[in-house]
Structure 1
Amino acid sequence: MRIGIVNDLSIATEALRRVLARRPDHRVVWAAASGADAVACCARDTPDVVLMDLVMPGMNGVEATRRIMAESPCPILVVTVSVGAHAALVYEAMGHGALDATDMPSLGNEEDNGADKLLAKIDLIGRLSTAPPRAAVPRAAAPASSRKLLAIGASAGGPSAVARVLEGLPPEFSGAVAVVQHIDEKFAPGMADWLGRYSRLPVRIAAVGDTLQSGHVLLAATNDHLSLRADGRLDYVREPVELPYRPSVDVFYKSAAEHWRGPIVGVLLTGMGRDGAAGLRLLREQGHHTIAQDQASSAVYGMPKAAAELNAAVEILPLDRIAARLRDLFAQTQTSPP
């Protein structure tokens, strides 16, 4: 892969170069010492992936990510010292389209210096860029019930998009809410807290054995797939192990289609790749209402685009109209399309 490095510290850039040198298939095409330099470098030579620091003088990594995704979009992996200490900046960068985040590997030769994790995340980004679509699950009839579920899927650009949707839901919202965001399990608890600042509904991570309750938001929280069991409780499953998307939106949509006893509204937001598109189509085929975010308001128009191509969405809406539409749908006795 052709890789760009963004870091204002030469020692950090050297550490990244040494890690990447372990893999003959990776090549550093440029290194930028500031956010502004990174924007210019991406415009001249857009790489396969950018390793983006967050804390830099002048234009920081969040603003650089926003500018790159607007002007020269490409996969961005946040690589910075102590992502935990900069969690809010991580979510902001992901809201502008960064795919993931990891700690900066050290220059030491110790076995666990973060290098393997960085290389694994770069490999995952490569797989996300080329992953083929998954086949849809055969159609089945949706069971009748008055319990309603809002199932939201998102990836790159998702944190801020999910926050925007939750911010627009009233405290008396009648549906249960499940959110599947492509995010490393290390960041899920912090993201739940961060989303809680915007949501008038309580937000927490989903645990094994939880049930989806009206007026509550549960966030997928491990690198395995969130799934709804036949008994109505949540679980995490490793299969399909070959999926590069973890947790997978498609896996949750499929399980909800099989086991949720009531109307479902599926919402697929900004993200790279095709995860969620086949599952959204399954929901539509069963008579549930489905919404995909439109291109203009998506930080990364991959997942919603795939849904549109599959005719999986009943409606394609800009982000600023989705919450209002959900308020209308959940105020009705039925959430299936006319």
Structure 2
Amino acid sequence: MKIAIVNDLPMAVEALRRVLALRPEHRVVWVAGNGAQAVQRCAELRPDLVLMDLLMPEMDGVEATRLIMAETPCAILLVTADMGANTARIFDAMGHGALDVVDTPVLGGGDLRAGAAPLLAKIEIIGKLIGDSVPAGAIAARSAAVSRGTRARQLVAIGASAGGPAALATLLRGLPADFPAAVVIVQHVDEQFAAGMAQWLGQHSVLPVQVAREGDRPARGTVLLAATNDHLRLEPGERLAYTPVPRDYVYRPSVDVFFHSACALWPGDIVGVLLTGMGRDGALGLKALRDQGHHTIAQDQASCAVYGMPKAAVALDAAVDILPIHAIAPRLCAVLSIQPKPGGHDGP
């Protein structure tokens, strides 16, 4: 993989070089000392992956991510020395299309390979996303959905990945306090950021946003966010559970796994929503929902930070509606026969 490093600290650059040298399939194609240089270098030679620092002079990693994804989009992995102190910046960068975040490896005492493992694992996952290699048969066959004649309760199932935080904030901002459906979100994000992301999304929503815990039941007017690296799924009794299988599935947590389980076991109406993201996760699940007669929505290309997951869904004819992000909340309100909140179309 052709990898670029964006970091203003020579020690951090050297640490990243040494980690990448452990894998001969990776090659550093260029190094930039700030975000402005990175934007220029991407235009000259677009890499497969950018390892992007957040705090840099002249232009930080958030703005650089925004410009790169707008002008010469490629995979971006945030690499920062203090993830806890940079939570807001991390979500901002992910809203512009960054895929994930990892701690900067540290040179010094100890086993370099052990210290390099988290970064190399993230790079391997992103490499699979770029190659779109989803193991055949990764999702087990699901049981048939119950008769629509017995359905009463309503569920909005949302999947998102790269660019998802900003898209989710826009969507949630448009939902009114009397929203009549339960909302469950599966966003590709490392579990250490799930709680912080729920709090951040809660600042944009009049509905309460919480992490989904084992045994929770989706409830009307409440937003639940998948909270671990295991897959969230619906179990009998309308209870949520986490499962490590399929273990070899590249997307964790998987939108497809949740969509399929909801399609099989939710005893009411479902509206499936697939937002911005790299790869194909959620496309097959959205198709299954539509095939069972549920309403489905995909975000349109123009408003996506990364037009991958919705594109795959559109190619499968999985979406009833293809809409810009600001139009999705009003459409949900229309489908569920309620009036949208005034001003719900504003951006994040």
**TM-score bucket of the superposed structures, by smaller chain:** over 0.9
Residue of structure 2 equivalent to 1:68: 68
The structure 2 residue matched to 1:313, chosen from 311, 319, 342, is 319
Structure 1 residue 326 and structure 2 residue 327: aligned?
no
Residue of structure 2 equivalent to 1:169: 175
**Structure 1 unaligned residues grouped into runs of 5+:** 333-338
Residue of structure 2 equivalent to 1:128: 129
1:131 shift after superposition? 2.8
1:327 shift after superposition? 1.1
Asked if the contact 2:2/2:27 (under 8 Å) is kept, the reply is yes
1:231 shift after superposition? 1.6
In structure 2, give the amino acid aligned to 1:210. D
**C-alpha deviations, 1:81-112, integer Å up to 9, x for none?**
11111000000000000000011110124238
**C-alpha deviations, 1:132-169, integer Å up to 9, x for none?**
46678578344332100000000000011011100100
Asked if the contact 1:131/1:244 (under 8 Å) is kept, the reply is no
Residue of structure 1 equivalent to 2:343: none
Asked if the contact 2:215/2:241 (under 8 Å) is kept, the reply is yes
Structure 1 residue 203 and structure 2 residue 204: aligned?
no
Asked if the contact 2:3/2:48 (under 8 Å) is kept, the reply is yes
Residue of structure 1 equivalent to 2:79: 79
1:330 shift after superposition? 1.7
Structure 1 residue 2 and structure 2 residue 8: aligned?
no
The structure 2 residue matched to 1:140, chosen from 130, 144, 147, is 144
* CA distance in structure 1 between the aligned counterparts of 2:236 and 2:329, rounded to whole angstroms: 29
**C-alpha deviations, 1:280-327, integer Å up to 9, x for none?**
000000000000000000000000000000000001001110011011
* CA distance in structure 2 between the aligned counterparts of 1:13 and 1:82, rounded to whole angstroms: 16
Structure 1 residue 300 and structure 2 residue 306: aligned?
yes
The structure 2 residue matched to 1:248, chosen from 233, 245, 254, is 254
Residue of structure 2 equivalent to 1:45: 45
* CA distance in structure 1 between the aligned counterparts of 2:324 and 2:305, rounded to whole angstroms: 12
Identity across the alignment (%): 61
Residue of structure 1 equivalent to 2:118: 117
The structure 2 residue matched to 1:191, chosen from 187, 193, 197, is 197
Asked if the contact 1:277/1:310 (under 8 Å) is kept, the reply is yes
* CA distance in structure 2 between the aligned counterparts of 1:156 and 1:131, rounded to whole angstroms: 14
Q: Secondary structure at the match of 2:192?
A: coil
Residue of structure 2 equivalent to 1:227: 233
In structure 1, give the amino acid aligned to 2:324. P
User: CA separation of 1:114/1:219 partners in 2, compared to 1, >3 Å: closer, same or farther?
Assistant: farther
**Structure 2 unaligned residues grouped into runs of 5+:** 339-348
Q: Secondary structure at the match of 1:324?
A: helix
Asked if the contact 1:94/1:157 (under 8 Å) is kept, the reply is yes
1:331 shift after superposition? 2.1
Moved over 2 A (4+): 111-114, 131-144
1:114 shift after superposition? 3.8
Give me the TM-score of the superposition, normalised by structure 1.
Answer: 0.95
* CA distance in structure 1 between the aligned counterparts of 2:336 and 2:133, rounded to whole angstroms: 34
* CA distance in structure 1 between the aligned counterparts of 2:73 and 2:220, rounded to whole angstroms: 38
* CA distance in structure 1 between the aligned counterparts of 2:241 and 2:106, rounded to whole angstroms: 36
Residue of structure 2 equivalent to 1:19: 19
* CA distance in structure 2 between the aligned counterparts of 1:110 and 1:201, rounded to whole angstroms: 47
Asked if the contact 2:142/2:261 (under 8 Å) is kept, the reply is no
Asked if the contact 2:287/2:317 (under 8 Å) is kept, the reply is yes
Q: Secondary structure at the match of 1:228?
A: strand
In structure 2, give the amino acid aligned to 1:145. R
Asked if the contact 1:150/1:176 (under 8 Å) is kept, the reply is yes
Asked if the contact 1:139/1:285 (under 8 Å) is kept, the reply is no
